[in-house]
Structure 1
């Protein structure tokens, strides 16, 4: 059947069209192109947003390519958030404090690294997880997502502990939460557990202490898509299960503002999410 010529058409791509990209490894699951494409169209910008899988050993070259090809900006996701911070010409105060970057944008000729993850997560913690000052929280992981989660928890006054393979990394992230305004935990029995690792994307469980969180407890997985065993086990045990979609939208709206000077029309990104 021929396409309906009266239906909606994508905007024409021209020589003036600006390019945006998310760099990750893997990145095929990313919803960022869906969200940003919807926002770009709604705001009437002449831009295209792509997803590119970049192995860790090639991320520095990929960011150099953004300069060469004149990209308007970029998002970076696992496992490139530390490398993006190092590759930029300068960084915002937020990116320096968190120690990782998820957004690259231009100020004149200088490529600037920013981090919009903590801001995007704060509303999820307060509204979806009901996090209150003094609540015990455990973050699982030690990468850029864990650092952003620690800052978001600290700014809400939580008592944050960290579970990671390297004790020194766990200690550094727990200290970051305190420096962001949190308190030192008096116990390690969390009301909220945050998975800030890729575990679960391929059906892997978290370590046993964090599976099956029951009534009054919250499992927050910063991943999104197919429910992970971590979230499924919490839901089956009577706990609250929250995925990473809220953070995805929050950080994306803030990144969009870095590139275009204003946030996207309200609700456009959330409405673009697959149902």
Structure 2
């Protein structure tokens, strides 16, 4: 039940129709007994600033930000956490103790547990596909583990910048060894697209990690068929969502609630 005191939370992206963030956060809001609602808004890049201004005027409680707005979210905020500044992108907007619109990035923290569960360790050669906000967060998480990260992207300068970020986070220099881990940090595969052929066909002893979630992509399907560990992005989604919820509300979501909500949605 909503009333005049109900606070607004949301996710902003383009596209955003695939997002299950409303289900995760709505379950956590209900379990915690909070007077809030969480909605999804499809906002084109040219409308992002106006959307944030509108949310501020409405007194929103906070927002998640996804592709393609993560750099813009960091730029529009009045202040930012060290994590968001270091990554160079934000996925969470909230109000700080001084009432300023603040930016945070919970993606890298959300990915750390997933990488551990996949058995990624220091020195592992990793190919990271992409150079956007999700790739930057993945580079930081991989660097903190001590992986040797090589980045593949459309622009060589962007790839080099993300590789340098991974090293600043603690990663090792990449060499020409074949990857033990390939991470897809682009939207490719969400609608059945294949990754570049050199990234397909991972097999036994290798790890295919797709930061997308939902129906299995050709990348994950082929890797799993060949005996690789194939993991989608649901673990990262839940991890970053739990951290964002705590940012907005000052309390962790009830344990297991978001995972249960994700399981109910299914692939």
- 1:105 maps to which residue? 94
CA contact (8 A) 1:161 1:188 kept: no
Deviations 1:117-165 (A, max 9, x none): 00000000011x1001100111100100000000000000100010001
Instruction: State which of 35, 44, 51 in structure 2 corresponds to 1:55.
Output: 44
Instruction: State which of 232, 251, 257 in structure 1 corresponds to 2:240.
Output: 251
1:191 aligns with 2:211: no
1:122 aligns with 2:95: no
- 1:94 maps to which residue? 83
Deviations 1:176-195 (A, max 9, x none): 00100111022241101000
TM-score by length of 2: 0.97
SS of the aligned residue for 1:137 comes to: strand
| Distance (Å, rounded) in 2 between the aligned partners of 1:235 and 1:131 | 17
Deviations 1:184-207 (A, max 9, x none): 022241101000000001110000
SS of the aligned residue for 1:250 comes to: helix
| Distance (Å, rounded) in 2 between the aligned partners of 1:179 and 1:188 | 21
TM-score by length of 1: 0.94
CA contact (8 A) 1:39 1:265 kept: yes
- 1:162 maps to which residue? 151
- 1:26 maps to which residue? 15
1:210 aligns with 2:190: no
1:232 aligns with 2:221: yes
Q: How many residue pairs end up in the alignment? A: 263
- 1:8 maps to which residue? none
Q: Could you list the runs of 5+ residues in structure 1 that have no partner in the other structure? A: 1-11
| Distance (Å, rounded) in 1 between the aligned partners of 2:177 and 2:22 | 38
Q: How many angstroms does 1:237 deviate by? A: 1.3
Instruction: State which of 7, 14, 17 in structure 1 corresponds to 2:3.
Output: 14
Instruction: State which of 52, 56, 59 in structure 2 corresponds to 1:67.
Output: 56
| Distance (Å, rounded) in 2 between the aligned partners of 1:272 and 1:27 | 18
Q: Could you list the runs of 5+ residues in structure 2 that have no partner in the other structure? A: none
Cα RMSD (Å): 0.7
- 2:34 maps to which residue? 45
| Distance (Å, rounded) in 1 between the aligned partners of 2:99 and 2:114 | 35
CA contact (8 A) 1:138 1:188 kept: no
Q: How many angstroms does 1:262 deviate by? A: 1.3
| Distance (Å, rounded) in 1 between the aligned partners of 2:222 and 2:54 | 43
